[in-house]
Amino acid sequence: MKNALQEQLLKAGLATEDQLARPKPNRRKKSQQRQRKKPASGGSRDNRRPRDDSDLARAWAARQKAEREEAERRKRLKAQRKANRARIRQLTLDNCLNADDADDADIPFQFMVGSNIKNIYVTAEQREQLLAGALRITFQDGRRCLIPAAIATQIHELDPEKLIIDPSAVEESVDDEYADFKVPDDLIW
């Protein structure tokens, strides 16, 4: 009795009766013979690279070593960045000077992030400190945070890519025809 696959092969014309009648080779015997031929200690030498001191072997070894060193360097760099992000987060949250009470911080302070205008509510004292350069603005966990300038410097040393806004050092890009008209600092939109 033939199995279903053999019948389908016959119907499709992909096999003949003679091919199906041939005995199938026993693959288990071959694999068992190979295992008997292998040395008992240390396994097979077929998978190992031959030890020779050719230029190709030295170049291959040097490349493997360079790749390992590069992978280790990337791993250390990733761990350092992760530690720096954790340190920055802790610095920001520990030194955040935002007013806890919404009634105290009732003055909106507008600042630019790229081409977008953002605002943060501050007290009158914080507004003066922002304009004087004693406070900076940064973002942490989706929140705008006021931090002292010294902490902003520490954060910048840990991660130069971290966005820290210094409202006192805003560059004025005023067109020449409007140069005579200064915008007062206390203007509220």
Q: Cα–Cα–Cα angle for 124, 127, 130, nearest 5°?
A: 155
Residue 71 predicted with pLDDT over 90: yes
DSSP of 142-177: TEEEEEEHHHHHHHHHH-TTS-EE-GGGPPP---GG
**Contact criterion met (CB below 8 Å) for 116 and 131:** no
* pLDDT of res. 61: 93
pTM: 0.56
User: Looking at residues 106-123, what average pLDDT do you find?
Assistant: 89
Q: Which range among 40-54, 121-135, 158-172, 173-187 has the greatest average pLDDT? A: 121-135
**pLDDT tens digits for 36-63?**
666 555 555 555 555 556 889 999 999 9
Q: What confidence tens digit (pLDDT) does each residue in 73-88 have?
A: 999 999 999 999 999 9
7-18 pLDDT tens trace: 888 888 888 888
Tell me, what's the pLDDT at 62?
94
| The pLDDT value given to residue 171 | 57
Q: How much is the pLDDT for 81?
A: 93
